[in-house]
Amino acid sequence: MGGVARPGCGEAGLRCPHATYAEHMSDAATAERVLSEATTIAVVGLSRDPAKSAHSVPAAMQSAGFRVIPVHPSADVLLGERVYRSLADVPEPVDIVDVFRPSGEAAEVARGAAAIGAKSLWLQQDIVSAEARAIAAEAEMDYVEDQCIAVVRAIAGITR
């Protein structure tokens, strides 16, 4: 979409993907509301590598009091939590499915999130998918894309 730089949207030097300021503010409000209503976050693509944001961001959310459920195809324990191979294997209700996978995989994750009845789908910074957005809308899930969940949490001061 090629919007203009706006505070709180993207990292320094990146362009805000929103076409208008109203769209930007609407997405920002949705992100804060989704996070303020959540306690349990299933993280698809949580990394074993502490140097990667796919590890440090979920760790920060866990430190802020959120229940983080790792979803990873081969790990057994991450962040001190049992790892599930897929969203379908998670045995408890999920508020947010947080996605650390490439944009091309987001639609499949969205289908999985809809199948388990997740309340929200959150695509991390630089992950955008029109198909995932459509799947979330059809499933009546809240949808956030191209935003870091830990940045939104920190700016809004949300903890559990």
Burial class (CB in 10 A: 0-12, 13-18, 19+), 104: exposed
pLDDT of residue 107: 98
What's the pLDDT score for residue 5? 40
Query: pLDDT grade, residue 12 (50/70/90)?
Result: very low
pLDDT at residue 29, rounded to an integer: 86
- Which of the two residues, 20 and 111, has the higher pLDDT score? 111
The percent of residues above 90 in pLDDT, for the chain, comes to: 81
pLDDT band at 144 (very low <50, low <70, confident <90, very high): very high
pLDDT in the model for residue 27 = 76
Tell whether the torsion through CA atoms of 23, 126, 108 and 158 is positive or negative: negative
Predicted pLDDT of residue 13: 45
pLDDT in tens, 115-136: 999 999 999 999 999 999 999 9
- Give per-residue pLDDT as tens, 63-105: 999 999 999 999 999 999 999 999 999 999 999 999 999 999 9
pLDDT tens, position by position, 47-59: 999 999 999 999 9
Report pLDDT for 28: 81
Average pLDDT, the chain: 88
- What is the reported pLDDT for 67? 98
As given in the structure block, the two tokens for residue 2 are 């090629």
